[in-house]
Amino acid sequence: MLAAFSDAATLRHALAFEAELARAEAAEGLIGAEAAEAIAALCASIMIDTAELAEEAALAGTLAIPLVARLRAALSGETAKALHKGATSQDVADTILACQIRAASSLLDADLTRITTALAALARRHAATPTIGRTLLQDALPISFGLRIAHWQAGVAEAANRLHREVEAGATLQFGGAAGSRAGLDGKAATVSARLAAALGLPDAPPWHARRGGIAGIAAALAIAIGALGKMACDISLLAQSGIGEAREPAIPGRGGSSAMAHKRNPTGCQVALSASLRAPGLVAGILAGLPAEQERGLGGWQAEGPTLADLFLLAAGAADAMATVAEGLEIDEAAIARNLAAAGLGNDIGESAALVAALLTQDD
């Protein structure tokens, strides 16, 4: 996940944008074929010190300005003029972000799938295992232990599906030009955009530079996914408490110990997910605050999105990795479950728990 948002990845996507833009425009007769290949060859071979580029970008206010200047300095004549034709700095920045979001989403989905797969198996195994339900932190009526797990599974699965939908809708090509009107391309901007999107592996879309709802939707979906992992972590940490002991994180050497109390087995995976769930809402709030962008290009709002989304993806990745390990090795103590149920003295009628487990898991299928 760190690599997906690294300087190297950012620069790679930026250079790919410039190379494929030139090729798309050459295919439409807007620039010469030789110029396009010279630009593409330069983008594939140029060596750039990312620290120096970052310093220049900080002064310019955007990565594209010093990058395009460096590329043009290495070209000549009409070829230099052909570079970046019809594009603007935000086109580069937003397209980079869309590429990074898609790469990051694929990484995250792998761990979310690990979790839903492991939880589905546990839910089926315990679909009819009676346990005491708890509401407002007090003993309630019996349910099946599998029903509790099925709700964790459904929450994570729903969140993963929501994130997928938001990424498909919001992480698209940005190509609008200086003010979003696609000026200066002889009426061929739509076909250039379609070619560019296909080359970069992104869906084509009308310019969205002044509409940041798609990015906000992705951020909110990430926070919901983190929250679903936090819900699972909260329940498991409560079930693992001394005196309850119905479920525990897997026993792994070096995991969950205490420097002062050797007897302890702390739920450290749950700790990671709960920590992430506390941080995520504030990060999303920052992106939501940027939605009232100023006219055709806002000042400060969209510029804050990239680092914030990177943080959200990193939090989600850490939480998902931690909880995948927990889900795949979760220890369920049926004797403790039965003991606590008997102590509650509320019988063992679990209602339609087994049917509900099946319905929740089918929902994911």
Among residues 268, 267, 283, which one has the least CA distance to residue 316? Answer: 283
Catalytic residue flag (residue 277): no
Structural Rg of the chain based on CA atoms: 26
CA angle 47, 49, 52 (to 5 degrees): 145
Task: Write down the catalytic residue from 259, 297, 339, 353.
Answer: 297
Catalytic residue flag (residue 258): yes
Task: Write down the catalytic residue from 258, 259, 265, 353.
Answer: 258
How far CA 251 is from CA of 254, 332, 336, in Å, comes to: 9, 12, 17
- Within 10 Å of residue 95's Cβ, how many Cβ atoms? 26
- Within 10 Å of residue 362's Cβ, how many Cβ atoms? 8
Phi, psi angles (nearest 5°) of residue 246: -85, -25
Just list the catalytic residues. 258, 297
